[in-house]
Amino acid sequence: MHEHNHQICIDQALKRAKQVCLQHGVRLTELREQILRLIWQNHKPLGAYLLMNLLEENSDREHVAPPTVYRTLDFLIEHGLIHKVHSLNAYVGCSSPNQDRCNALFICSVCGETEEIPNNSIQQAINLSASQHKFTVENQMLEIMGKCQPCKQKKASDS
Amino acid sequence: MHEHNHQICIDQALKRAKQVCLQHGVRLTELREQILRLIWQNHKPLGAYLLMNLLEENSDREHVAPPTVYRTLDFLIEHGLIHKVHSLNAYVGCSSPNQDRCNALFICSVCGETEEIPNNSIQQAINLSASQHKFTVENQMLEIMGKCQPCKQKKASDS
DNA sequence: CTAAACTATGTTATATGATAACATAACATC
DNA sequence: GATGTTATGTTATCATATAACATAGTTTAG
Ligand SMILES: [Zn+2]
Ligand SMILES: [Zn+2]
Ligand SMILES: [Zn+2]
Ligand SMILES: [Zn+2]
């Protein structure tokens, strides 16, 4: 994840966003696309107020207020284009929209990179546990904090 | 979960808390015990400011300030006696301290009751996925929102 | 084409959740 | 009982998120 052509990630995300909005019959306005782009600048989750500042810097808007950002985030979440990372109060691009359930989020505590990893066996185990307790799942969040391999290697070479 | 002798839950929680504090060489002060009791009043997660108000009402303190509550919550979390429910910004009693990893939290979207369910197969699936991606897990959170059985039954009998 | 309805954004104020920094009190050890 | 340590009190502030209402843009029907 650390070394890759990230422009491809951004392009794919924008392409998917346009498809999804078309399917759902909603508009990917300039504001929504701008914020989605900002979120996809890298693979780290970004806070709402940081996005607010980034939007002010990277557009010709004078002042951006919180509701502008939060409404847009709500829209993007609603249509599965981003995730809220609850353990960080931050937002990250979704790499696989059009899914029924959220994937596992692996969050590196050193570099902050967050990778969304689909995993059927985790989902199956959750579904089984839920059905055993006669619990009907509506949605779920699995956030895993730890160290990614590049950061472990870097730390090892430091010492 | 809906129908049970909840006093037993409270008594066990307090007993465990005393054991844990003894083991860890820390003190379960009056304040810490009061807040732990308030959290264990039921199986719903409670917010920090609600706990603050409850503490004012249920003790002879005049004013309770946020740091008083947050420091105590931090202590209780650090020693594994409560969990923070990130999706609600609220705190709930831990029913199984002395574990290496967090269990799955099943949160009912109707009644708010939250049940902590240990599940080895979920944990195994997470560990496998992590090792496949060479990711070292430090901690994790799995929060599952949905409907508990009693609430489903109640809804069915309403219609 | 334009009025009406709907959707999106702007604006101001405020609610809610959490922490920093420093002062005081309680407890333990010697 | 002086000293170091842990716990709590106090004030101010930061960080995150939403309510309420105003304006602008877009679509649809007549
Ligand atoms: Zn990338
Ligand atoms: Zn990393
Ligand atoms: Zn109980
Ligand atoms: Zn319920």
According to DSSP, residue B46 is labeled: B
Report the percentage of chain B scoring pLDDT > 70: 98
pLDDT tens-digit series, residues B135-145: 999 999 999 99
Report how far residue B7's alpha carbon sits from residue B41's, in angstroms, rounded to the nearest whole number: 9
- Residue B99 above 90 pLDDT? no
Q: How far is the CA of A113 from the centre of ligand 1 (A)?
A: 10
> Using 50, 70 and 90 to split pLDDT, how confident is the model at B62?
confident
Please give the pLDDT value at position B2. 73
| Window A27-66, strand D contacts by Cβ < 7 Å | 27, 47-49, 65-66
| Window B37-96, strand D contacts by Cβ < 7 Å | 61-68, 71-72, 75
Mention every residue, 6+ apart, whose C-beta is less than 8 A from residue B109. A138, B145, B146, B147
Please give the pLDDT value at position B144. 97
Half-sphere exposure of B100 (CA within 13 A, CB side): 6
Report how far residue A2's alpha carbon sits from residue B107's, in angstroms, rounded to the nearest whole number: 35
- Residue B96 above 90 pLDDT? no
Considering only the beta carbons, identify the residue of A130, A135, A147 that sits closest to B136: A147
Please give the pLDDT value at position A83. 97
B153 touches strand D (CB under 7 A): no
Q: What is the DSSP string of A22-52?
A: HHHT----HHHHHHHHHHTTSSS-B-HHHHH
For the beta carbon of residue A49, count every other beta carbon within 10 angstroms: 12
Nearest CA-CA distance, residue B28 and chain A, Å: 27
Query: What's the whole-model pTM score?
Result: 0.94
Give the CA B65 to C1' D13 distance in Å. Answer: 14
Please give the pLDDT value at position B157. 78
B110 touches chain A (CB under 8 A): no
Task: Name the residue among B39, B114, B94, B24 with its Cα closest to residue B69.
Answer: B39
Question: What domains can you pick out in chain B, each with its CATH number?
Answer: 6-158 (1.10.10.10)
According to DSSP, residue A53 is labeled: H
The Cα diameter of chain B in Å comes to 55
Mention every residue, 6+ apart, whose C-beta is less than 8 A from residue A17. A28, A33, A36, A81
Report how far residue B34's alpha carbon sits from residue B20's, in angstroms, rounded to the nearest whole number: 16
CB B117 within 8 A of CB B127: no
A41 touches chain B (CB under 8 A): no
Q: Check the CA dihedral A26-A31-A34-A39 and report its sign.
A: negative
**Among chain B residues, CA nearest to A124:** B122
Please give the pLDDT value at position A3. 84
Please give the pLDDT value at position B3. 84
- Residue B119 above 90 pLDDT? no
B140 touches chain A (CB under 8 A): yes
Successive 10-residue mean pLDDT values, chain A, 159 residues: 89 97 96 98 97 96 96 97 98 86 91 94 94 96 97 81
B101 touches chain A (CB under 8 A): no
Please give the pLDDT value at position B159. 63
Which of B135, B149, B153 best probes binding to A when mutated, by most A CB atoms within 10 angstroms? B135
